[in-house]
Amino acid sequence: MAVNNGSFGSGVASIIDIIRVAEAVREQIDQTIPSIELHLAGPSPSVTLSTEMTLHPSCGLSDLSECDLVIVPALGTLTGETTRECLKGPGAQTIRSALERIDPATTRLAAACTGVFALAEAGHLGGRRATTSWFLGADFRRWYPDVIVDLDEMVVTDGPIVTAGAAFAHIDLALSILRTVSSDLARHVAQLLVIDERPSQATFIAYDHVQHDDQVVIDFERYVRVSLDQPFDVSVAASSIGTSRRTLERRVSDVLGLTPLGFVQRLRLERARYLRATSNLTTEDIALRVGYANAESLRSLIRRNN
């Protein structure tokens, strides 16, 4: 695992714990599973994580190409601006140079959260599907337009490269990696550590916190939120915010990776889940408040997103 100063401490720790627990119980599950070795590599003899924990890498970044798999954890940043600055830093640049020398055909690559930005910077994600921190999706799409971004998925595998979503998706990434070794081992580790399956991060996305500065999308979101209980017509929506249907569809797709209707459905789902958790309204009443004529339409939306 390639760690840098400021890397997300809990993410790094969770990967270490999951992999080491897997190694500890490996022979109980199947003695034919090969030994799992985890090495830490960094740009300096010691690395201090975001939680102020200090790690001492056991190998150099130049040794990464000798590994079967290289994991890049989150950078420890929360905004597009701080992520960009971190990527320009000397430690991140050193890691990038090491990643650029890796051939995914012989050494697989994995990253979570803002660590996915490092893989993109190193040129490994062009033309591939990937996921990352949902709240930085707009920045990621703008900076790396040749990457096919899927923010719904918790873990996305495209050939030899695995990416995972925000923050504690490091846990899901580690289990996904274990499944390539042994599905039984991954299942047992998840049981030991009481980890629930979380195949999607769509449930956690709060679109009013997605960072972007596209005024058309901002106006569209504002329009949708105040009229969520009304039937949706994309042409009416575009006219209401002073733009064309084609422009609205293009801008929403560029920023959010969704169609306007898809975005409306996500906001309806977000509002419905909030109302279910905070009120005593029936499903029928909630359906009416989020723009559906009956409860079954809402249930169908929920089923498609579970």
Question: Phi/psi class of residue 242: alpha, beta or left (left: φ > 0; alpha: ψ in -120 to 50)?
Answer: left
Alpha-carbon distance of 229 to 260, in angstroms, equals: 16
pLDDT band at 225 (very low <50, low <70, confident <90, very high): confident
Tens digits of residue pLDDT in 156-175: 999 999 999 998 999 999 99
> Strand locations in 80-223, DSSP E?
108-112, 129-130, 148-149, 155-158, 161-164
Q: Which domains does the chain have, with CATH numbers?
A: 9-203 (3.40.50.880), 213-304 (1.10.10.60)
At residue 141, does pLDDT exceed 70?
A: yes
Tens digits of residue pLDDT in 240-280: 999 999 999 999 998 888 899 999 998 888 888 878 888 89
Query: pTM for this one?
Result: 0.76
Most confident option among 83-97, 246-260, 280-294:
83-97
What's the confidence (pLDDT) of residue 208? 59
What mean pLDDT is predicted for residues 67-93?
A: 96
**163, 132 in Cβ contact below 8 A?**
yes
What mean pLDDT is predicted for residues 224-241?
A: 93
- 55: closest CA among 41, 69, 76, 73? 41
Encode burial over 221-233: b for 16+ CB neighbours within 10 A, e otherwise: beebeeebeeebe
DSSP helix/strand/coil, 43: coil
What's the confidence (pLDDT) of residue 207? 66
**92, 58 in Cβ contact below 8 A?**
no
Question: Phi/psi class of residue 235: alpha, beta or left (left: φ > 0; alpha: ψ in -120 to 50)?
Answer: alpha
At residue 88, does pLDDT exceed 80?
A: yes
